[in-house]
Amino acid sequence: MLQCIFLLSDSGEVMLEKQLTGHRVDRSICDWFWDHVISQGDSFKSQPVIASPTHYLFQVVREGITFLACTQVEMPPLMGIEFLCRVSDVLSDYLGGLNEDVIKDNFVIVYELLDEMIDNGFPLTTEANILREMIAPPNIVSKVLSVVTGNSSNVSDTLPGATGSCIPWRAAEPKYANNEVYVDLVEEMDAVINRDGALVKCEVYGEVRVNSHLSGLPDLTLSFANPSILDDVRFHPCVRFRPWESHQVLSFVPPDGEFKLMSYRIKKLKSTPLYVKPQLTSDAGKCRVNVLVGIRNDPGKTIDSITLEFQLPPCILSADLNSNHGTVNILGNKICSWTIGRIPKDKTPSLSGTLLLETELERLHVFPTFRVGFRIMGVALSGLQIDKLDLKTAPSRLYKGFRALTRAGEFEVRS
Amino acid sequence: MAPPAQSQRSPSPSQPSGKSEVSDLKLQLRQLAGSRAPGVDDSKRELFKKVISYMTIGIDVSSLFGEMVMCSATSDIVLKKMCYLYVGNYAKVNPDLALLTINFLQRDCRDEDPMIRGLALRSLCSLRVANLVEYLVGPLGSGLKDSNSYVRMVAVMGVLKLYHISASTCIDADFPSILKHLMLHDSDTQVVANCLSALQEIWSAEASTSEEASREREALISKPFIYYLLNRIKEFCEWAQCLVLELVTKYVPSDSSEIFDIMNLLEDRLQHANGAVVLATIRVFLQLTLSMTDVHQQVYERIKAPLLTLVSSGSPEQSYAVLSHLHLLVMRAPYVFSSDYKHFYCQYNEPSYVKRLKLEMLTAVANESNTYEIVTELCEYAANVDIPIARESIRAVGKIALQQYDVNAIVDRLLQFLEMEKDYVTAEALVLVKDLLRKYPQWSHDCIAVVGNISSKNVQEPKAKAALIWMLGEYSQDMQDAPYVLESLVENWDEEHSAEVRLHLLTAMMKCFFKRPPETQSALGAALAAGIADFHQDVHDRALFYYRILRYNVSVAERVVNPPKQAVSVFADTQSSEIKDRIFDEFNSLSVLYQKPSYMFTDKEHRGPLEFADELGNLSIGEAANNVVPTQMVEENDKDLLLTTSEKEETKGSRNNGSAYSVPYDGSSTSVFASQTQIESAVSNPTLAGHSPQASFAIDDLLGLGIPAAPAVLSPPQLKLNTKAALDPSTFQQKWRQLPVALSQEISVSPQGVAALTAPQALLRHMQSHSIHCIASGGQSPNFKFFFFAQKFEESSNYLVECVINTSSAKAQVKIKADDQNTSQDFSTLFESALSKFGTS
């Protein structure tokens, strides 16, 4: 099991250390780790599980903060990695984001949280909902409250009721004047388009996010109009499996607040909302670039925040690129980024210009991959539709809301 | 953290240097200690925070211990928590001062707030000071009986901590049996889960000394208990579910209906949001169905989707861990995943270790229906910015070509690579074309046309250059300017830094000479002269060898250097199937990520002897060396042993010493010849076919000129074993510990052998008739384990063998250790032949 957890800043400084078992892990392991990271060049490229001379290290990097866990025994690797991911999720949820300062300012809270999340190297509660009942988040409300009431403790007096109940994700019977439940479909489209414009691969990874503020012990049923298009699904522990097996209906008692009810994957989609047509022709030490972007399949809503990014090949000396719409920037690390925004009605956005190759090079042999970003509000591109959401014993006033959003995930166009 | 690493880190100017601040804090804490003024908690909190932050950045604040304890009398829970944290950190180095804290911690353990009771108990157990354990027993006992589950949960973990500080105290207080009771009856699943993990650890540690503990440990994987956990599995938190699932993998169901029950019960776990749970479930499924081939296949189909979703949904770190497992499964059953090949396409942004895994999977799943798409995709990567990945993808194309029957399209692609004018692409492609030609000589025409256009000046990498030279030599009759290209290479002999290339150049010159003597003769002379003058031993030796063999007899030389070749049908895999199986057995562990079974990376020194003692203890000591073996049988055995070993030796010799011999290729870095080697075909030429021993004699003669080329080939092993060898068990045990494993291999057992192996004794008698004696044996169908030993005839050199036979798979895992390492291969062959005759005689 895990023996120790370190939080490192982006300069390799140990911000926090939590020993979990009797086998103390010396801090010098962090120095070893940091040397290793530096020798790898880019922390992004170093592997999540590393064997140091003395320990096996799990690392997860979030917002410049490295979560490092050490162990000396064989264990399921995902357990270590998942746990660190949860720690980072919970911390960023508690502290409203992650960065060096916020962790240093709130290290007491971080210690408290880790104390409840893991004991003797074995993970316990990692549900933010439950933790919030044991340790109040350091938000403004609680600060104000403590000033007003004079009670300066940021710990609630009661233990979470759920620890004893059979629904471990839900606190005992909250009360709300307004009963609300919101369901969001958030989809990410991953696509690869070849240089000849053929769609090599296109699939959607989606999540159903629910934000529920319901009194008592609400029993919800959510159904889709077309569940058959789902290729694979994963559920929050609250979802009952049998109704899904038999009727593809989600039946569940939700945790209080925001959570991810379900994630799904839909593969083999046939088209993308946008087309991107890059053209690169090179001769005599120059390369002409021309990229066109337009709407291929109108999703019915506005396509927003369209961006296009590509890495200039290392053999390029200089680039002169312009567009007829939006702005083009060439960033320090030779990444060219073109911000388009929305597609105008009257013209097709295009990026054109020339790249100057290194001397001695006649033609370009390395072709960049264009990464496309976009966002469409109000549509789930996979076509998944929510049919209805029912509450078994509906309270008198109940607000239900549905939203959908699609954005580009790994959307790549090769040239 | 403690003792704080101040000395290691040079304090930066902004950091407090320590001394004065600490004494300041000390003063302030002292003032506050007795104070009961309003608002005192707030100022204490500020001070505590400062102390903890100093501690965190590595300043030694242990000198404040006394003051901190004095200030700890408070009702404020945050203050308490900070104080617990502080105490937990420094108690171990200040055991005397730690005593001071016992008092207030014990008091807090009786607090009316369950949260404080729990926290205090946790801190108390985390002090980890050996001489304070007596103070732990009381609070732990009452904690285990606490009405609040939070406290019970903490107390259970406390028991485990106590066990690690002082096992005897823990056992004497009878905590394990209390935990057992809690585990079976507590209403809170977290308490149950904690009990389970604590008891597993305690009983495993105790099992070696206490029979009761090992019985209890066995009881954990008994049917009633496993079912008790499985029926409640949904109530457990996700991490505890992992723990339960891990335990279930150790459970052996009695029949297939039970297997299906368990799988039905767990099926929805595959849809869990936590990847660790999903993987643990998959492991259970795979383990359960291992013996049911068709169901096992269905399991693959079933787990495919969840795994692919996990890969695409999680953070990069999670994806990587899942992908490693997927990789393992794909390598085991590529056909199951062949329709999902698009999932293994690389994304631009992925780190290269992920891309590498994906490339290997793409290679594995390629079959007739998807090859075209996969190769097209791989060709895209050849233009990748990431050069190592571009190389890997070209290699992948080559591997696919070698495993397909229809290589038509692929050859075209490879030839296109050659025309891409990028040096590393050309280099990789050359190596591939060479491998391809070895397997499909019928393509030589198309390939040679393209290869002929490549200027050898543009090829710099030794591997590629060697490949080019090999092709020039091999196909010199089809390439117009082959002799002249080679000649120019010989002229630049001194500038060629790689010995590998020079060796190939020699061989290629020879081959070229046999095909086009007039054009090559002078260049060959120059090459041999340069070779003999070479400072590199192998090059020198080979040149001399060629020179002498040419002088001896040119036609013999041609037979040796350029015999008719057979196409290579199978390129061997680098990773043996045994290792893959081992890794598979350790599914859902770090082994999968490292692609090595755990025994290859865990520390042997710590585990080796212990394990061995354990194993040997479980086996019955057989009566060794009692029976007299008929001599006749031994001789008979020796005869065909001679034959088999010499064959074996040739294969081995040419494999290992290929570069020192006429074999230009012992394969690229990834593949070696599996069976048909060139030296073998050289030896078994038409006139001598079927007389291998004689053939090796011919070579023996040739080499009798005094060139130490391949000594391994020269000595047909005459290994004779002592029929009356004797070794007492303790010597055996000692030797087994000391000697390294000389050989480890997997041997198939004949069906007759499997049939005859109803009890260990049958094999013992059989092996004894081959002068291999058993020292210990054990096990029951289908797994048997034996320890054998044998002695060299008239020498006191011993061979030790560990042999594990699985009758259901008809395989034997053999590990051989030998006093004389050089003859271990001979012995292995002898052992193998003896084993193969089991059941037939």
Residues with Cβ within 8 Å of B609's Cβ and at least 6 positions away in sequence, in order, are: B737
Q: So what's the pLDDT on residue A44?
A: 52
The Cα–Cα gap between A170 and A133 comes to 11
Neighbouring CB atoms inside 10 A of A336's CB total 23
Note whether A203 contacts B312, CB cutoff 8 Å.
Answer: yes
Q: In the block, which residue shows the tokens 């009983």? A: B203
Domain span at B401: 341-454
Cα B568 to Cα B403, B448, B674, B681, distances in angstroms: 12, 19, 8, 11
The Cα–Cα gap between A170 and A257 comes to 10
Q: What is the CATH number of the domain that holds A365?
A: 2.60.40.1170
Same domain assignment for residues B32 and B157: yes
Same domain assignment for residues A289 and A357: yes
Q: Where are the alpha helices (DSSP H) in B314-422?
A: 316-332, 334-337, 352-365, 371-382, 387-403, 408-418
Q: So what's the pLDDT on residue B17?
A: 52
Reply yes or no on whether the pLDDT at A244 is more than 80.
yes
Domain span at A388: 179-269+381-414
pTM value? 0.68
The Cα–Cα gap between B363 and B403 comes to 9
Q: So what's the pLDDT on residue B329?
A: 84
More confident site: A88 or B60:
A88
Which of B666, B685, B702 lies at the terminal end of a domain, its last residue? B702
Q: So what's the pLDDT on residue A154?
A: 45
Query: What is the CA B283 to chain-centroid distance, rounded?
Result: 18
Asked if residue B161 is part of any domain, the answer here is yes
Note whether A104 contacts B383, CB cutoff 8 Å.
Answer: no
Reply yes or no on whether the pLDDT at A178 is more than 60.
yes
Same domain assignment for residues B409 and B524: no
The Cα–Cα gap between B587 and B237 comes to 22
More confident site: A414 or B16:
A414
Residues with Cβ within 8 Å of B606's Cβ and at least 6 positions away in sequence, in order, are: none
Asked if residue B695 is part of any domain, the answer here is yes
Q: Give chain B positions within 8 Å (CB) of A56.
A: 590
Which of A129, A149, A169 lies at the terminal end of a domain, its last residue? A149
Please, is A194 exposed, middle or buried when counting C-beta atoms within 10 Å of its C-beta (0-12, 13-18, 19+)?
middle
Asked if residue A329 is part of any domain, the answer here is yes
Note whether B305 contacts A263, CB cutoff 8 Å.
Answer: no
Q: What is the CATH number of the domain that holds A39?
A: 3.30.450.60
Same domain assignment for residues A351 and A395: no
Q: So what's the pLDDT on residue B704?
A: 35
Q: So what's the pLDDT on residue B67?
A: 78
Same domain assignment for residues A230 and A119: no
Q: In total, how many domains does chain B have?
A: 6
Q: So what's the pLDDT on residue B576?
A: 61
Residue A78 near chain B (CB below 8 Å): yes
Same domain assignment for residues B559 and B582: no
Reply yes or no on whether the pLDDT at A379 is more than 50.
yes
Note whether A231 contacts B305, CB cutoff 8 Å.
Answer: yes
Same domain assignment for residues A37 and A142: yes
Same domain assignment for residues A315 and A196: no
Q: How confident is the model at residue A167 (pLDDT cuts 50, 70, 90)?
A: low
Q: How confident is the model at residue A142 (pLDDT cuts 50, 70, 90)?
A: very low
Same domain assignment for residues A47 and A133: yes
Residue B151 near chain A (CB below 8 Å): no
Q: In total, how many domains does chain A have?
A: 3
Q: What is the DSSP letter of A415?
A: -
Same domain assignment for residues B733 and B790: yes
Same domain assignment for residues A395 and A361: no
Neighbouring CB atoms inside 10 A of B357's CB total 20
Same domain assignment for residues A364 and A405: no
Q: What is the DSSP letter of B462?
A: H
Q: What is the DSSP letter of B232?
A: T
Q: So what's the pLDDT on residue A272?
A: 86
Same domain assignment for residues A13 and A120: yes
Same domain assignment for residues A105 and A251: no
Same domain assignment for residues A390 and A262: yes
Q: So what's the pLDDT on residue B322?
A: 86
Chain B: give the shortest CA distance to residue A19, in Å: 9
Asked if residue B216 is part of any domain, the answer here is yes
Q: So what's the pLDDT on residue B616?
A: 37
CA nearest B509: which of B470, B537, B540, B468?
Answer: B470
Cα A340 to Cα A76, A329, A414, B194, distances in angstroms: 45, 12, 19, 55
Q: So what's the pLDDT on residue A218?
A: 83
Note whether B164 contacts A22, CB cutoff 8 Å.
Answer: yes
Residues with Cβ within 8 Å of B158's Cβ and at least 6 positions away in sequence, in order, are: B121, B122, B124, B125, B136, B140, B143
Which pair of tokens denotes residue B838?
């089991």
Q: B166, B312, B340, B343: best mutation site toward chain A, by most A Cβ within 10 Å?
A: B312
* Cα pseudo-dihedral B342, B344, B350, B353, rounded to 10: -170
Residues of chain B with pLDDT under 50: 1-16, 603-717
Residue A230 near chain B (CB below 8 Å): no
pLDDT in tens, B86-103: 887 777 777 777 777 788
Note whether B352 contacts A45, CB cutoff 8 Å.
Answer: yes
Residue B271 near chain A (CB below 8 Å): yes
Asked if residue A171 is part of any domain, the answer here is no
Chain B: give the shortest CA distance to residue A76, in Å: 4
Cα B264 to Cα A242, A243, B231, distances in angstroms: 12, 15, 12
Same domain assignment for residues A365 and A398: no
Same domain assignment for residues B528 and B427: no
Spatial contact of A65 and A103, defined as CB atoms under 8 Å apart: yes
pLDDT in tens, B732-790: 777 777 777 777 888 777 777 777 777 677 777 778 777 888 777 777 667 777 888 88
Note whether A234 contacts B602, CB cutoff 8 Å.
Answer: no
Q: B128, B271, B386, B387: best mutation site toward chain A, by most A Cβ within 10 Å?
A: B271
Q: So what's the pLDDT on residue B630?
A: 39
Q: So what's the pLDDT on residue B484?
A: 82
The Cα–Cα gap between B2 and B797 comes to 53
Residue B150 near chain A (CB below 8 Å): yes
Same domain assignment for residues B33 and B167: yes
